[in-house]
Structure formats: C-alpha cells, structure tokens
Amino acid sequence: DYVFLLDISGSMADDGKLSLSRRSIDAFVEALEPADRFEVMTFNVKPSKLFAELAAATPDARQRASRFLASQEARGGTRLRPAMAEAYRYGDPDRVLNVVVLSDGMTEQVERQELMELIRARPGHARVFCIGVGNDVERPLLQRVADSAGGFAAFVSQQDDFTRQAAAFRRKVARPAASNVKLLFAGADVYDLEPQQMPDLFHGMPLRVYGRFKPGGPG
C-alpha cells in the first residue's frame, strides 16, 4: 500500500518543483503493480485527498491520479504533520503502508518538532520515505524524517530520468532486506559510531558506518 503526499505550498512554485513532483509521482504510479493499492494526497496548510481510500492500481485510477496532479497549484504555507497523520489512517495491519513524501522540506521549526514526534509515534506497519524535489531543498530534515521512520530519502532534479528513478525506488521499497540492524564488535573498544542507530536496509542500498576504536589490535 502506498500513500503519496505531495507538497503544494508556495515554495514549490520555485525552480519548477511542483512540475517535477507531478512527473515523479506519475512515474511512480505507473511503476505500481496490479496487487498494489495507492492514494494521492496534496498538502499545504491542510491535506486534500484524491480517492479518500486506497484504490487498486488500475489504468482508470492511474488516469484519475494524473488529472488530479495536473490540476494542482503551488500556494500557501507548509504543514506536513496533518497530512502525515491522515496518511497513517490508511494503515492495514495485514499490509505494509509506505508513505512517500515529495517536498522541498521548507517548513517552520515548530512544525518540524511536531512532525518528528508524529514520526516516532507511527504505526508499526508503516514506513515513511522522503523524496527531496529540486535544487533548493532541506536535505537534513527529509533525511532525518525518513531515517526515523524506517525508510530512506532520495533526491530528484530536473535532469533525472523519472521512469528509471521510479523503478529503482519501487525496487528498494518493495524489497526490504533487514530491520533492527545491530553491529557487535569484539576485541576492540569502539566508540563515536555514526550513525548511532542503524537504519533499515533495502535492496541495493549500502550501509556505511564510521567510528573510532582503542586500543589497536585484532577485532
């Protein structure tokens, strides 16, 4: 199950971000399979739903999604938290809920704090993925949201191949490799690890861990 959250706040009018986001979601929706279900939701200060339910990825549903996206205009402020809370309502305990956020991450500090609290309180079967759109994007926030919610962040610009990006993105999302990853070290005193908490691993994604150890010796 997929819920696509599209940022249509005023900042998305710059640098062709909204147009880029529309094309990205169109490509992602085209990459879905018949057994998948999806919803498309836009947000600025409040969310707006397309289907108000999870729809099967049929040709008709894809066309409706494309028309809905084409009608959107960028205006207003940014509040991701209400849209995220609404997305969680689509959760089905028997299926994984993949919430995909397309945004530049330009939001107020207070909203960021509330959003992180909501991310930490997400349902156990939900994962959040962030796609940073355009060149002017708040990478650290989107990365932090995704890392804290069992997903990962990706970033797209006008020069990217949307069809290829969508296929690669869906391949990763659909093939989680390991969760609750922990590294154990023996024979060396290891400290200053980064990241401190290991992210979930998805197909084709490397895991890079940095740190220090003392004293030297076999480990």
Identify whether the C-beta of residue 177 lies closer than 8 Å to the C-beta of residue 203.
Answer: yes
Task: Decide the pairing of beta strands 153-156 and 47-49.
Answer: unpaired
Least confident window among 112-121, 138-147, 206-215: 112-121
* Average pLDDT of the chain to the nearest whole number: 86
Cα separation, 125 vs 119, in Å, equals 13
The predicted pLDDT at position 78 comes to 81
Q: What is the CA radius of gyration of the chain?
A: 18
Q: What is the pLDDT of residues 161-185, one digit of tens each?
A: 777 777 788 788 878 888 888 888 8
Q: What is the pLDDT of residues 182-208, one digit of tens each?
A: 888 888 889 999 888 888 888 888 888
Q: What is the pLDDT of residues 19-53, one digit of tens each?
A: 888 888 988 898 888 899 999 999 998 899 999 99
- Among all chains, which residue has been given the structure tokens 């945004």? 103
* 57 has a pLDDT exceeding 90: yes
The predicted pLDDT at position 52 comes to 94
pTM over 0.75: yes
